Structure 1
Amino acid sequence: MHLRFHALATACACLFIAPTLRAQTTSPTLVTATTNDTSAEQVVVTATRGAKAVEKIPGAVSIISRQDIEAQGLVSEDPSALLALQIPGYAPSRQKLSNFGEGLRGRNALLLLDGIPQTNPLRLGGREGYFADPMIVSRIEVVSGASAAQGLGATGGIINTITRTPTEEGTRHTVELKYGTQFHGDSASWKTGYMLEHKSSYDLIAYLGARNQDIGVDGAGRPLATESLHRAADVFVKLGKDFGPQRLQVMFNRYQADGFDDRVDVPGDRATGVPTTSQRGTLPYDAPRNEVRSASLEWTHNDLAQGTATVQLFKQDFSARYSGGVIATFQDAAIAPVGQLIDQSEIQADKWGLRASWVRPDLWTRGLELTLGADYLDDESQQRLTQTGRVWVPPMTYRSLAPFAQLEYEIGPLTLRGGLRNEHSRLKVDDYSTLAYYGSRAVQGGERSASKLVKNLGAVWRFGNTGWSTFAAYSEGFGSPDVGLILRAVNSNGRSVNNLVDLQPILIDNREVGVTWRGSRASLSASVYRSHSDLGSQLVVSNGIGSVQRVPITVRGFEVTGEWRPLPDWQFNGSYAITRGRTASTAGGSLDLDLGARSQGPDKLVLGALWRPAPGWQAHWTQSVYFSRDANEGKFSGRTSLEEHFKGYTVADVALSWDSPWGKLGAGIENLFDRRYITYYGQANYSGTAEDYYAGRGRTLTLSWRRTF
């Protein structure tokens, strides 16, 4: 169905049933919430590089509150599942250790932890989604669409996870225990965590938690495949002290997630619909693993030259080890006979940087605000083969410096915002050789640099006391193609880093208009957007080999959200999102292909209800509907068909919690009706094989207890 007709029909339907929908994300005035005391004056930091009321930000901004995080945690602690429920344009969760294919509005989002980058744009391996335990999270701020405020990697939006800070005087201890089961063998899970909070002349928060999850089963009782989290542990410390208008704060977080080392996969059969399963066995290589260490030192001054200054020095070390085996790409006859060499790869990315900003309100005249700042990033990334010590992706050094300026002017019901960010980046790679699979090609090193002035402009108009407002926004984003994927696949002689034109940066422009209504007991929000890049980056798999193509990409979409509170103890909510991405089969060609499942999710409807039957009691219901999708029928890349087919599925979750005298007790059921389904990416990925035809998790009961004393 044509996007315009589909969007118009949906908008009309949503206006008709507005009382059943929930205001969620695509609005400058509405904030995602599960409590009645949430107001439009909540602030968001990531969109503006300073505290700003959501209602004054032109664009699609969401806040996933602590209440939302706790409610979803009763059912599942999968971070991607939380985002898929809360953010209309976010693709369905893969339910795996990998978050590859979980895009935001058809593009990659920049993941941050307290402003520290967690994504690795030079070698995007799809393993960046797990980096913090939900217990340490205060809220998650989401800016959908390309952003000129944060810099490299924010082509699809920004997802900033904000950690907790003590708010009450004194010392508090919190203990959390969870147990889950599917009432099948090898399906149990447990979690234990301890958190210390202290606030006096200084504030301290410390957390130590561990989690273990067995393989689990699908709706038919079959064991799930092994590409999932098995064990995880988090150590977190944040210490801060105020000195009058100044504050000094240090934060450290170490998160490790391990896959299975005692199970092996059993390939499925796509033709007959039999999913990949697993069985007991010994791996001939090391178990998959993620390890992330993030640290920052932050200084703020609330009265520096009549403005607020913030300087953050950060460090982040990341490593992701993947599953191995007798993989064709890793074979080398000089090491072992072809077909017998077992190997696996690991991405390592170490980065540090500096983020500085100064916000001066009421500059020269009341209502005029100036923001100045600069960001510096130093990133060193590589990908190696762990069993043989070979280099697959050579060490890459990336440095960027980006000064920026932002002006905002508020006059009556109108807020105007505009800004510039000047991105200067440099990539350096030394001489290297490719693997034997690519012909052991010698590639000459070199340096590539880029400079781009990215812009943003937007306005919000509030229609008096009617509750209506509208916004229009234009923003540009600056990203990098997967440089490592390009460098490792060089298969011809005489190439050098300097003449690999595919290293040109990705430039995105995002246009969006939206309207919002907020009443005393209901709210509604809708927006339409267009995101375009003349030189995008698409991963194409042909005959089992992945390569990057630099082709134009356009993504159009429509999102609507709403909320209705008919009674003080009842709340209904919903969101609906349409995403339509198109790309080209050749560089500079026409948009003749649908954007694939590696980038784009299906149309999605999420409905929910909250009921408070008695003081201290809460019951939650959530239903997610993912609509069927057929893409690129009859289209080929070489001899590889690009067709994608997704049948769609519906999953319902339910949770109940009670603030008892002995602590908060909870019970949640994921996939309440034990639906048998193949996940979106498992179905739709055109290059999928019998080894990655993954089923979704079946009905799972989780019991929890948390007490603070």
Structure 2
Amino acid sequence: MPSPLLTFRKSLISVAIGLASTQALAAEADLNTTVITANRAATSIADIPATVRVIEAEQIQQQMRGGSDFKDALAQLIPSLDAGSQGRTNYGQYMRGRSILVMIDGVSLISSRSVSRQFESIDPFNIARIEVISGASSVYGGGGTGGVINIITRKGTPGEPRFDLETGVKSGFHSDDLDSQLAGAVSGGNDRMDYRISASLRKTGAFYNTEDEEILQDITQTSSQYGDQVDLMANTGIQLDDEQHLQLTAQYFKNEQDADRFSYFGPNYAGFTDPSQVSVEDGLQLDDQPETERKLLNLQYANDDLMGQQLLVQGFYRSEALQFYPFPRAASQTVSASNQETEVYGLKAVMVSQLSADTSLTYGADLSRETFDSRQQYYNFADAAASGGLVYNPDVSTGRYPGVEIDEMALFLQANSQVTDQLTLNGGLRYQYANAKIDDFVDTDQQYLVATGQLPYADAVPGGEADYNTTLFNLGAVYSLTPEHQLYANFSQGFEVPDPAKYYGYGNYDGSNLISGINVADNKADALKTDSYELGWRYDDGQLRTQLSAYYSISDKRISNSSRNLSVSVLDEKKRIYGLEAIADYRINSNWALGANLHLVEPEKKGDGWQALEAYYASTHKLGAHVDWNQGPLNLRLQGMKVYDYKDDAGRELDGYTLFDLVGGYDLPVGNLSFGINNLFDTDYQTLWSQKAQMLYAGLTSPAVVTFEGRGRTLGLSYAVQF
């Protein structure tokens, strides 16, 4: 059996360096659950002045084995997280109306080039639990002004080799719409060493709406249809001696499309003006189809007694390569697709000092370097247009965005003190510095004209260096009225630098000559700082667990995208978001339980007074509820989620919808059978992303081309066994 110290140490090192402030309301977690949170050291939920939720593996598996998409599963389980896109992207899927910092074992998946595929990074088969922090995080600096989601991977445990096998299917019983999964892992070890090696394969087919029509594939942010996914992961933990532990994790993840069918836009793209011409047809000829490829190495070291303190060190490397669909531009008579590559490596160090029985101090440093590069592949426009967007013959290749290199350094200090038996105080600061190097860059459109011989040359928009530094503060308190009742309050700050690749490098030209351009010297991108305030209450008596928090966040500026080319600009306008987040779980008896969660959110911008934020940047109210029943080997859950309507001051609207799912499981003599019916009542709706895309891309295409209905009723069935 593993020692309690070893178990704690392995849990600590897997999250301590990455996480900042966490709150748990999962049925399996209570106020004594230990998480690596606001102090970046092990802290029980009862001592955390913030909204934190711990989602256990069983909850994730219940959703996924029943057939849910990972992003939708998270939206079911996290009150303040918006509904998912049902595609690859999590663009526009906010927490508390703002961006999310997503991590795996403390390694951030957020890059300077803010491509939103962070949830397409790991198979849920490899997830042990997820720690969620709502609100801005001072401890982690850049990004994550709406919250932090830290995915903790499954590790080996001492003992004889154990095998985990899982297989499943999902279908709406239409042509080519079968999704399938096969996963396996072996794990084991002893008191000195443990290991886990796993492989997971997933394959998706076509998606159909409630009218039995195949759903269009997303030419903007790419789709999940016809995907082949592999997730290979290996980790080992080594107990060097009684005080020192080493953990190594390696992962290779790839999800690539392999489709013969694609969105058909009519001859010569007639569907851009005539929606009746748009459909899904056979005959796709595209060599480089959309894909996401990731590599991750994560080495963690812990020393429990270094001069009376605890040392935690993490070194990591990650890379990602992202391929997109070809996108047609009628004005320039071009059709092209981008490929974007990012590499990040870094080092984090944390010292935990117990100053007294009631006070601890956590301090350390973070270092990282990121490089970004991209290419744009153009295809023969005449061939693509004549085929209605099905035939893509490669033409010329150019750069897509300026090359970017970013060095970051941060120092932080966090204190936690049990002032009285009832009052705990928490506070700290983080100093963050970033240096961004931007390459000289010829605007992509001008590069195309040069590559095709229409121009002899083109001037480059100058690059340069931009420095950023800021100090972020946080302060919080928890007051225990009784062992079951707690009040908490906190103030925290978040920091965000606009996407430099989409901000710089754009120019206005007279033929080959640059007239004006967005460059570092004259148009340095301003960073954004967000102040976040929260007041909350939680209660846990073992039968009823509930949490209620009111929050308010305000940023001094806001980011906007051009409808002409989606370039990024920083507006000197304040943005504020305030709302209410609530969740409750109640166990009636040994057979019945029920729960509900609610997120009320009001996103606003400062123009002539405070106005409703543009619909394509907004979060909406969301309500969820579930009823659970179990009897012997059988368990069932009926769950529902309502997404509310939204309307901004310009009249742009998001239409809400209500969905129900039925999921369950049955314990067999050997293994477990899980099943689920998603979209139980076959509700017809458009995803929130579809509605936002029609607004965001209004200057580039017609609504019919980016209309993505939600998936109709589907049945999922899976089997899992351990031996």
The answer for the alignment partner of 2:7 in structure 1 is none
| Structure 1 residues 358 and 471: CA distance shift in structure 2, 3 A | same
The answer for the alignment partner of 2:129 in structure 1 is 139
| 5+ long unaligned stretches in structure 2 | 1-20, 379-395, 450-457, 509-513, 698-702
SS of alignment partner, residue 335 of structure 2 = coil
Q: CA deviation at 1:39?
A: 2.5
Preserved CA contact (<8 Å) 1:72 1:82: yes
The answer for the alignment partner of 2:113 in structure 1 is 123
The answer for the alignment partner of 1:23 in structure 2 is none
Alignment partner for residue 549 of structure 1, among 564, 570, 574?
570
Q: Which residue identity does 1:82 align to in structure 2?
A: A
Residue 80 of structure 2 corresponds to residue 80 of structure 1: no
The answer for the alignment partner of 1:579 in structure 2 is 601
CA distance in 1, matches of 2:238, 2:151: 21
SS of alignment partner, residue 501 of structure 2 = helix
Alignment partner for residue 352 of structure 1, among 302, 327, 345?
345
CA deviations on 1:240-286 (whole Å, 9 max, x unpaired) are 11122111111111111123531211459999999975222214452
Alignment partner for residue 424 of structure 1, among 424, 433, 436?
433
Q: CA deviation at 1:34?
A: 4.0
| Structure 1 residues 274 and 409: CA distance shift in structure 2, 3 A | farther
Q: Which has the higher contact order (CA 8 A, sep 6+)?
A: 1
SS of alignment partner, residue 497 of structure 1 = coil
Alignment partner for residue 232 of structure 2, among 231, 235, 247?
235
Residue 214 of structure 2 corresponds to residue 223 of structure 1: yes
Q: CA deviation at 1:106?
A: 1.5
| Structure 1 residues 390 and 198: CA distance shift in structure 2, 3 A | same
Q: CA deviation at 1:494?
A: 4.8
The answer for the alignment partner of 1:702 in structure 2 is 716
TM-score, scaled to structure 1:
0.88
| Structure 1 residues 495 and 546: CA distance shift in structure 2, 3 A | closer
Number of residue pairs aligned between Structure 1 and Structure 2: 652
Q: CA deviation at 1:385?
A: 0.6
SS of alignment partner, residue 328 of structure 2 = coil
The answer for the alignment partner of 1:529 in structure 2 is 551
Q: CA deviation at 1:624?
A: 0.4
SS of alignment partner, residue 326 of structure 1 = strand
Preserved CA contact (<8 Å) 1:285 1:324: no
CA deviations on 1:43-96 (whole Å, 9 max, x unpaired) are 222443111111211111111111111111122352211221111111110000
| Structure 1 residues 128 and 275: CA distance shift in structure 2, 3 A | farther
CA deviations on 1:6-62 (whole Å, 9 max, x unpaired) are xxxxxxxxxxxxxxxxxxxxxx99623344xx3321122244311111121111111
Residue 457 of structure 2 corresponds to residue 433 of structure 1: no
Preserved CA contact (<8 Å) 1:442 1:493: no
CA distance in 2, matches of 1:106, 1:272: 35
CA distance in 2, matches of 1:357, 1:629: 43
SS of alignment partner, residue 567 of structure 1 = coil
CA distance in 1, matches of 2:619, 2:421: 40
The answer for the alignment partner of 2:262 in structure 1 is 264
CA distance in 2, matches of 1:526, 1:218: 36
Preserved CA contact (<8 Å) 1:393 1:484: yes
The answer for the alignment partner of 2:306 in structure 1 is 304
Q: Which residue identity does 1:113 align to in structure 2?
A: I
SS of alignment partner, residue 96 of structure 2 = coil
Q: CA deviation at 1:149?
A: 0.9
* Higher deviation after alignment, 546-555 or 98-107: 546-555
Alignment partner for residue 189 of structure 2, among 180, 199, 203?
199
Q: CA deviation at 1:540?
A: 4.1
CA distance in 2, matches of 1:129, 1:412: 40
Alignment partner for residue 159 of structure 1, among 102, 127, 149?
149
The answer for the alignment partner of 1:25 in structure 2 is none
CA distance in 2, matches of 1:398, 1:591: 37
| Structure 1 residues 502 and 595: CA distance shift in structure 2, 3 A | farther
| Structure 1 residues 224 and 34: CA distance shift in structure 2, 3 A | farther
| Structure 1 residues 79 and 132: CA distance shift in structure 2, 3 A | same
* Higher deviation after alignment, 163-172 or 694-703: 163-172
Residue 625 of structure 2 corresponds to residue 607 of structure 1: yes
Residue 299 of structure 2 corresponds to residue 294 of structure 1: no
- What is the RMSD computed on CA atoms of the aligned residues? 2.3
Alignment of 1:8-47 (within 5 A): 31-35=24-28, 38-47=29-38
Q: CA deviation at 1:497?
A: 3.4
Preserved CA contact (<8 Å) 1:373 1:404: yes
The answer for the alignment partner of 1:384 in structure 2 is 375
Residue 365 of structure 2 corresponds to residue 374 of structure 1: yes
| Structure 1 residues 500 and 618: CA distance shift in structure 2, 3 A | farther
CA distance in 1, matches of 2:377, 2:22: 50
The answer for the alignment partner of 1:314 in structure 2 is 316
CA distance in 2, matches of 1:454, 1:601: 25
Q: CA deviation at 1:604?
A: 0.3
CA distance in 1, matches of 2:364, 2:147: 20
The answer for the alignment partner of 1:7 in structure 2 is none
The answer for the alignment partner of 1:450 in structure 2 is 468
Preserved CA contact (<8 Å) 2:559 2:568: no
| 5+ long unaligned stretches in structure 1 | 1-27, 332-338, 634-642
TM-score, scaled to structure 2:
0.86
| Structure 1 residues 482 and 30: CA distance shift in structure 2, 3 A | closer
Preserved CA contact (<8 Å) 1:285 1:344: no
* Higher deviation after alignment, 398-407 or 511-520: 511-520
Residue 502 of structure 2 corresponds to residue 480 of structure 1: no
Q: CA deviation at 1:197?
A: 0.8
Q: CA deviation at 1:460?
A: 0.5
Residue 248 of structure 2 corresponds to residue 250 of structure 1: yes
| Structure 1 residues 349 and 593: CA distance shift in structure 2, 3 A | farther
The answer for the alignment partner of 1:469 in structure 2 is 486
